[in-house]
Structure 1
């Protein structure tokens, strides 16, 4: 886990043409996405071969359940109270959780202000260099805060609802994936999906709120 400093990030919504600043408190974020091996160790399941490849084909709900199960394994307080199709986030819990959309973009940028934190071919697996398949985590250059694969390889689930007025319960995806063109692998790009859907270019990485 990498300690991410506090800061401010500006989010934007293309549909409404609205932008707004968000204050981000200090938190911790995994240096790489959850891998196939890590997911199997906690859940007994995996989606494909390759221990060091990001776990994929996991729903938003799968990601939340993994966070809780890993928290219990590590003696931490689970972040989520899940009841059927309802979930509450205990913001005071020290267990693993998904990052918020603002946390994700703040961490991805790592103090940079452009569309990416480096040259795309040096930092990301995308359609132009991936040979149209997933790659092991950590194979490209990290950002300034030591986070790998924030762009490309696999999209990351975030906690937030995308746009409740238009898309209901759809949740935010960030980062771009191995099959995406270069324009999708940018710090500000947002994608959405239903929380129960499993896609072969979508995974997640875990965050934690440090004890005060």
Structure 2
């Protein structure tokens, strides 16, 4: 088990509104958002190992690569552990069957961003499919050499967030479509192996909360209550 509390740079995100859409159902919905904080970068292998003592990632060569091959459940446990190390109130709890539930929505600890928070932060006030030219802002199949890269090597969005598109897909808190997909959770952002059309602010992907693969990671958020 890790014993070191990793430093994670959080960026303050202002309140606002975002409209999300789903191409499969042709549905759109608008969400009002309170201010929150979001990691400037996805969580790295070094940060994950410092806290958990584990190195699940497939990619090797640098501790500063984004952690991947982590499930949604792994990400939730990381958030709670980081909260406890910093003596903050954990956001998540578990029921009698071991299923994750929200223990305290107003808690000041670390959590996954909601899908609406993620897209709003990714867009950073822009209204196009991306916040800049793809080759300048993202590692994707066209320029990645089919491998992940250290976060921060591409230009940030206008709010100072790096790698919101490309490099690794990122888990969000939300259920994707519980009536059709049950417990599947939302993934956002596109990854190092994806074609350009998957690396857009609006693209939604889904997977089971225990799913692990080498192009999926996460970044952490905190509510402004803390």
Divergent runs of 4+, >4 A? none
1:89-168 correspondence runs (5 A): 89-168=103-182
Shift of 1:123: 0.1
Q: 1:176 aligns with which of 190, 195, 204?
A: 190
Cα displacement (A) at 1:15: 2.2
Q: TM-score, normalised by structure 1?
A: 0.98
Question: TM (normalized to structure 2)?
Answer: 0.92
Cα distance in 2 for residues equivalent to 1:89 and 1:148: 30
1:68 to 72, 77, 80: 80
Instruction: Give deviations 1:109-162, integer Å, cap 9, x for gaps.
Output: 000000000000000000000000010010000000000000000000000000
Deviation at 1:211, TM superposition (A): 2.1
Total equivalences in the alignment: 212
Shift of 1:208: 0.1
Aligned equivalent of 1:30: 39
**Structure 2: gaps of 5 or more residues:** 1-9
Residue aligned with 1:178, SS:
coil
Gaps of 5+ in 1: none
